[in-house]
Structures are given as structure tokens and as C-alpha cells.
Structure 1
């Protein structure tokens, strides 16, 4: 895929599926809302989720976004960074991508005021496309 095709696919409001490593070594797969800024993927979770605990324990994660219309996909592998405070600016593109326009500000406020909510940033070390 060209850079433009990748950008087009990642700008659609498809869910991403993240893969994290469970304690027993098997994969944990979870659909998430996400944003892509051209260099990193962003998604949120809460501290009471198993995926959060698994990412804290082992920050090596993967992500796939596929497009049912074009049958194209992007896979990313890399290390996750967890941001626990002051992530409103990074959250905004995620909410804007999926939520109705008249609910974006309210949702951003609600998420950023939740003390259990964190932002996860996937810094890809390798990406594959088809």
C-alpha cells in the first residue's frame, strides 16, 4: 500500500484490534477506538481492565486495522507507552473520529475527568500492509 492508501484506511472509523500478551503467554485481543497521527496509534482504556494490566507488565503489543470494503489492512508491532494524566489533546482525535459531532466535547470531558482512564500510545517498530 502507498502512504496515501495507508492514511486513507487509518482515517476511516473502523475499530482497531489490539493484541497484548496475557500472563500465560497467549494473546488477548480487544477492539478499540483509535487515532493515528502519522507516526503513532492512540487508544484509551481504564486501569481496572485486564488489557491495562497486561500492557503494564509487557508493553510489547500489536494492532490491526482492516477495511471490509477494500479488504486491505495495516498491522503494527511496537511498544506501548501509557499516559495517565493530561492527555485531552491526544484524546480529542479519537473521540472526533467515532462520536457524533455534537457529543465530542462532552465525551472528551467525561473521559479526561475519569481518574481510572489512561491513554495508550503504540509507537510502531514495524508495520505491514496489504
Structure 2
């Protein structure tokens, strides 16, 4: 069987990681997929940052995806080009949930990608009032189109 088509997670090559870093560098929206209580996929669009070889997503403990990941840490993320999605990358792996003060520099890095510079501090002040966590995904399987 072709290993690239296998359902067994494989470690992405250095070339895959380089290509992933390049593809994720421009600001795009990530579609995050978790597994719901009923076993069905649960999908949400999210802001993200790719740093230190991981995709990081900020969310709150009140979101469905957080509860899903506490129950089942498998995660898939798809990022596509807009508007026609002619290219995309799908990344799968096991999510780590970060729930300490180390989330704030990562959260700010995410915000800086999507918010005008003059609005970053106001957004961060708002986010600091929420029960936030970081979902961190180290790519175990990467597929480009």
C-alpha cells in the first residue's frame, strides 16, 4: 500500500514541513475539525499561527471544540487559498491543550496576524477577560493539493 494513502499517521518530511510553513505564512482561515460527542465531525473556522513547528489556535473553554478535544484529542485542520480553494493543506494529529499563562504571547501572535495594529491591544484586553486556552497541533500527517 502507498504509505501516503495510508490511514496510519506518518511523520512529515522536512520538505513537507518547509512547504507547510510557506503555505501557512500568509493570513488565511483554518477550518478546524474535532470529533463530536455523537462521533460526527464538528467544524469551525479559526484564526491561527504556525510557529515552532506547530499550528496554534486560541479558543475558550466554553467552545464545543474544546470539550471535544478533552474527550478525544484527534484534530484535523484544513487551510485553503481563497476564494476558489484551488490549493489547500490538510493537517492531522493529536492536539495538546495549553492552559497556563504561556498562552498569551501565542494568542497575541495570532491576533497580530488578523487585526490592524492599532486594534491589537484592545482585542487582547478583551481576550484576557475570557477563559482562553491554546490548541496546539504538531503535524503528524500532512496532505497538500
TM-score scaled to structure 2, two decimals?
A: 0.80
Higher CA-based Rg: 2
Structure 2 distance, partners of 1:124, 1:111, is 27
Whether contact under 8 Å (1:7, 1:38) holds in the other structure is no
d(CA) in 2 for partners of 1:29, 1:80? 15
Match of 1:19 among 18, 33, 41: 33
Instruction: Give the structure-1-normalised TM-score.
Output: 0.88
Gaps of 5+ in 1: none
Structure 2: state its 5+ residue gaps. Answer: 1-14
- Superimposed CA distance per residue, residues 46-77 of structure 1 (whole angstroms, 9 cap, x where no aligned partner): 11111110011001110000002672111110
Residues 14 and 78 of structure 1, relative CA distance in 2, 3 Å threshold: same
- The match for 2:61 among 47, 51, 71 is 47
Q: Deviations over 1:24-54 (max 9, x none)?
A: 1110010000001151001111111111100
Q: Which residue of 2 aligns with 1:125?
A: 140
**How many residue pairs get matched?**
129
Q: Determine which of 43, 49, 70 is the counterpart of 1:56.
A: 70
Asked if structure 1 preserves the Cα contact closer than 8 Å seen for 2:16 and 2:142, the reply is no
